Structure 1
Amino acid sequence: MRSDNDTNLDYIFYEFRIQRSVTIMDVSTNRCSCYRWITVTLLISLAMVLSVNASCRGLGKCCPGRDGSCKSPSISKPCYCDEFCTKSGDCCRDYDYFCRKQDCVMTYWSHWGECNGYCGRGRQSRKREVHIPAARGGEPCGKVKQTRGCYDEGPHCRRKEIASILPTYYKSYRHKPNIYSDEVKKERESYCIKYHLTYVSQFCSRDTPWFVMKAGDEICVECEDLAMDRQGRCQGSFPQTSDTWVGIATKNCFGMWRPEGKIIRGCQCGNNHGYDFLFV
């Protein structure tokens, strides 16, 4: 027979074995749970990697029309990068950014700039900028600059009228009799204005008699009845202000003059080539 002490010792050893077994089972259970958690975490990470790769950028191409092979693999379901996906609703999430055509977007035109002519014909331009450049075969950008003709009539122009002049030897063509009319017209009195040339363009040197004109010369310009308006004055015949003149029957001959400051009534200019002219 086992003494009481032996019985107590046996009981103590028995309890120790039971607790040890329970501890081992708990450790095993926790270890299994840990493995399971690691496995789930790896699967989630793999799914995230695959879902990141499920993109048109990851596929590396975009396809026209309907193309079943133009798809990016995914752990759930594939997504597509063809044009048909916009209708079927299964485009990859970066389709719009990576595949859709981007037409050029430009800013509005600016206002027209100042005319570069001085009290006459010139050019003016306006500009715009590229806001979003064309991409992936989109509509290309248009012009960024436009130019058009203009006529300068700014406040710096003292007069809007420009005198047009002809050599006086054209006077004979003005006074040919009208064989188809017996009407006798009373002519108004002519007047003259003398000018000092302050500028003569280089184009005047190409034609006769304009090549004679030089800056500093004094010329006489006559206003006849045929060139007068209803108020009895010729266009551009200002006796007090410097102004611009243009030659008729010539190629781009023009210049500027300064008047002596008075109108000579009942005057007729002579026939000196390059010095006597008619208002037109």
Structure 2
Amino acid sequence: MGGTALSGALWLGLLWAGSGAGGSCQGKCCQGRDAACVGEGWREGGGYGTCYCDEGCRRAGDCCHDHGQACPAVPCVVGEWSHWSGCAEQCHPGLRVRRRYVQQEPKNGGEPCPALEEKAGCLEYLTYQGQDCGHEHVPAFITTSEYAKERKRRAASSLWPSDKEAPGYCVEFRTEWLSQRCALERRPYARWMQYLRQGHTVCVACQPPAMSAATRRCSGDGHNARGDKILHWEAIGNSQCQGTWKKIRQLEHCSCPLVHSFIFT
């Protein structure tokens, strides 16, 4: 008799929980970890007792049985990246920025928001008054080839009305040495530096506006340098990522993999 009564009580308890009563989260979904957002009933993972309907209950493992249905997780939603800004300072190596904004905040333990800002190295060769500058930079300054797309989008300076007039060229180098700071770089805008490796062949494109209007060359491209001459370079965005290379050849177009393709800046 005692066993039958206990089984009946358990069955009634399950029926009570299944009916949505006793610790239900219907109409009660709280943000963060809220001790007041509490009920008494069956928990989501089993067990009867105190349960919660706040966002922290999943981490704590004490959600009420209907939390998943009554308070579905809503992930963060962000918009598209803005266009890249110009360089922070003209004629000197610096940083550019792009941003995106939250369109929907996460709810009920949903996926958190990703980074909302990215930075990348850049170097502009025009003053705000439109004067050419910066081509005396030594050593060569380089950045990821992805920056070339942004330059085309923003349109070259008045010195270069169209890409057809100055298509540019590419130089192949063999890296001789590079600092350890390149491989240790973890910042999102500078991860491309991790692909620089000693002994590897890299392709570096010379395009407007890094190309001098007078010489039609990029500073540090090794023009007229013999193959055994050691040339120096530095990565835009991290002055501690630098090294040396030797020029292999100049081509109209290079065919290095994307991760080993860079541009003079």
Give the TM-score band, short-chain normalised.
0.3 to 0.5
TM-score norm. by structure 2 comes to: 0.40
Higher helix share: 1
TM-score in terms of structure 1 length: 0.38
Bigger Rg, structure 1 or 2: 1
Q: Which has the higher contact order (CA 8 A, sep 6+)?
A: 2
